[in-house]
Chain A
Amino acid sequence: MDGPGIAALTAQATVAGSADLDVTPALCVEAVSHAYGERRALVDVSLSVPRGGFVALLGLNGAGKTTLFSLVTRLFDTRHGRISVQGFDVSRHPSAALAELGVVFQARTLDLDITVRDNLLYHAALHGMGGQRARARAAAVLDDVGLADRARDKARVLSGGQMRRVEIARALVHEPSVLVLDEPTVGLDVASKASIVEQVRTQARTRGVAVLWATHLLDEIEPGDHVVVLHHGRVLAAGEMSEIVTATGATDLRAAFRSLTGAAVPAPDTAEDSA
C-alpha cells in the first residue's frame, strides 16, 4: 500500500474508532515522536484508550512498542508530543499520572528472592500504600488472578505463567485506572497465555480498567478490539479489527497486517512454560 493510502486509512480508522471513545480517554498519546540519536524510534504516534477499553498495540519486534511503553511510564521523557493518563500529562504531572498507571513490563520484574506477597507489598509501598490496606489489596488481587494459595511462596518457584499473573496482580494492587502490558504472554504456553488474556479482559470489563496491550501475536486480538498497527515507529492503521480488515481489502487481520506492513506476522508463540 502506498503512503497516501496508509494515511487515509489511519485517518479513517481513527475517526471510526473515536466514535466509541469517552470524551476524556484514560490514556491518550498525541503526536509522540522519539529518537535515539539519529535513529527515529517513534514518529508522530497517536492513540487513545477509553475507560474500560481494550486496545491492542500490534507490531513486530522493533516496531517501537517498548519505546512507547518507556515514554508512557516515564522511563524516558516525552520530548515531542504529549502523553496523558486520566488527563494528567505524564511529563508535567508525573506523580498523578503514574499513580493511575499499572505496568507489566516485557522483561520479568519480580524480585525472585522474596515471596509473592512481599513483591506485592513492596509495590504497594512504592505507591504510598501500607499496613492493613496494602495486605488486603494484595490478598484481593492474588485471589483475582487465582494465586491466593501461592502468596507465601518465593517468586522463584513459580512457573513463567504464574509469574506473569503475579506481575498483573502487582500492577493492579494500587487500583490503577490504566493498565499497560508490554508483550506479557511472550514465552508462555497456550493455556497460560489464554488465562492471562482473559484475566486482563475481565479487569477491563468488570472494573473499567483501560488496557493497552502490546503484542505481535494476532491470536490475542478479538474481533471487537481496537487495534493500533505500529510499524517502524509509525501508526499505519487504527480502529476496530473489522474496520482495518475492510479498509485494506484483506480477508483477515493477518492479511491486513501483511498488506499494511509488507511483513508477515509471526506464528503464535508455542513456547513451553518454564515450570
Chain B
Amino acid sequence: MSATIGTLDRARHRLTPSGYVICMRGVMWREALRFVHQRGRFIAALVRPLVWLVIFAAGWREVLGVSIMPPYHTYILYSTYVVPGLLAMIQFFYGMQSSLSMVYDREMGNMRVLLVSPFPRWFLLVSRLTASTVISVIQCYAFLVLAWLWGVDLPGTGWISVLPALILGGFMLGAMGMVLSSMVRQLENFAGVMNFVIFPMFFASSALYPLWQVQQASPILYQACLLNPFTYAVELCRFCLYSTLEPVSLAVVFGCTVVFTAAAILAYDPARGLMARRPRPGA
C-alpha cells in the first residue's frame, strides 16, 4: 500500500504546473529542432509565397487594379493587396505540413511516444499546436521582411498589430490540419487531402482577389468564399496589418479555432476518437 501511495505522490509531483511547462517546452523544442534540421522546409515555405509575390503579383499589378476598400485608404498596388493572403498561405501550408508530419509520426510511431505521455491528451495536442503556430509566425515575419525588401509598402505599426492575427490564424489552420490528420490512415492519402483541401480553400478565398470582384465574376464562387474560414483568416490579417480590427473575421477565426481544436482533441481521444476504431498493422 505504501508503494502505491509513493507512486501516486510521484505521479502528482510530475504533473505539477512546472511539469506542464517542461512538457510544453519539450514539445516546442522538438518542433524547433525539426524545423532547424529541415532547412529545405523553411526555404520552401518562403519561396512559395515569394513566387506569388515576385512573379504572379508583378504580372497582375498592371491588369488588376485594387480600388479603395477597407482597410486601405487609397489605391494600392496588387502586390500590397496580396501580402495578407500570402501570410495566411504560409500558415495554411505550414499547418498542413505539420499535420503531414503527424501522419508521418503516427506511421513511424513518434506520435505514439507523444500520446503515451502522462499529461492529458488535450494538453499534448495544444502543445503541438502551439509549437507549429510559433514556427509559422516566424516564417510569416521572415516573409514580411522579404516583401518589404521587395518594395511592398507596409505600415510600420502593422508589423506588431498583425501578430495576434497571425497567432490566431496559425492556431485555426493548425487545428484544422490536426483534424484532417486524424482522419487520414496513411501518408499517401494525405496528398489527396492536400489537393482537395488546400487548393480549393486557397483559391476560393479573398487571398488573391477582392471579394467584390469575385462576386461580380461568379456569385456561386462568392458564396463559397464566404463559407470558407480561410477567407476570414486572410481578412483578419489584412485588417490587423493596418491596425484595424474586423470583428466578423475575428469572431469566425476564433470560433473556428475553438471548434477545430475541440474536434482534434476528440479525434485523438482514445475513448471516442477516430483513432480508437482502427486496427494497426499486426494487431
Residues of A within 8 A of B (CB): 24, 36-37, 39, 41, 61-62, 64-67, 70, 73-77, 86-88, 91, 94-101, 103, 105-111, 113-114, 118, 121-131, 174, 177
Contact = CB atoms under 8 A, between A and B. Distances in A.
A121 B26 contact: yes
Given A128-B14, A128-B15, A62 B119 contact: no
B53 to A, nearest CB: 30
B8 A111 contact: no
B34 A70 contact: no
A39 B269 CA distance: 21
Closest 5 CB pairs between A and B? A125-B26, A128-B19, A109-B109, A130-B22, A128-B14
A38 to B, nearest CB: 12
B190 to A, nearest CB: 18
A77 B273 CA distance: 10
Given A75-B275, A95-B119, A129-B14, A70 B280 contact: yes
Given A95-B119, A95-B120, A125 B29 contact: yes
Q: Which of B10, B11, B23, B119 has the most CB of A within 10 A?
A: B11
B74 interface: no
28 contacts: A41-B279, A64-B283, A66-B280, A67-B280, A73-B116, A75-B116, A76-B276, A88-B7, A88-B11, A94-B118, A97-B118, A98-B117, A98-B118, A99-B118, A106-B282, A109-B110, A109-B112, A114-B34, A118-B33, A125-B23, A125-B29, A126-B114, A127-B14, A127-B23, A128-B22, A130-B22, A130-B25, A131-B22
Contacts of B276: 76-77
Given A75-B112, A98-B118, A177 B279 contact: no
Interface residues of B, number: 50
Contacts of B44: none
Interface string B13-27: 011101110110111
B68 interface: no
A24 B4 contact: yes
B115 interface: yes
Contacts of A126: 23, 26-27, 113-114, 117, 119, 124
B117 A70 contact: no
B270 interface: yes
Nearest to B14: A128
Contact of B118 (A64, A91, A95, A131): A95
Given A96-B7, A126-B119, A107 B109 contact: yes
Given A74-B270, A128-B119, A122 B275 contact: no
Given A36-B278, A99-B118, 15 more contacts: A36-B279, A62-B282, A65-B282, A70-B283, A77-B269, A77-B271, A95-B119, A96-B118, A99-B14, A122-B29, A125-B22, A126-B114, A128-B20, A128-B22, A128-B23
Nearest to B268: A75
A62 B281 CA distance: 9
A182 to B, nearest CB: 9
B277 interface: yes
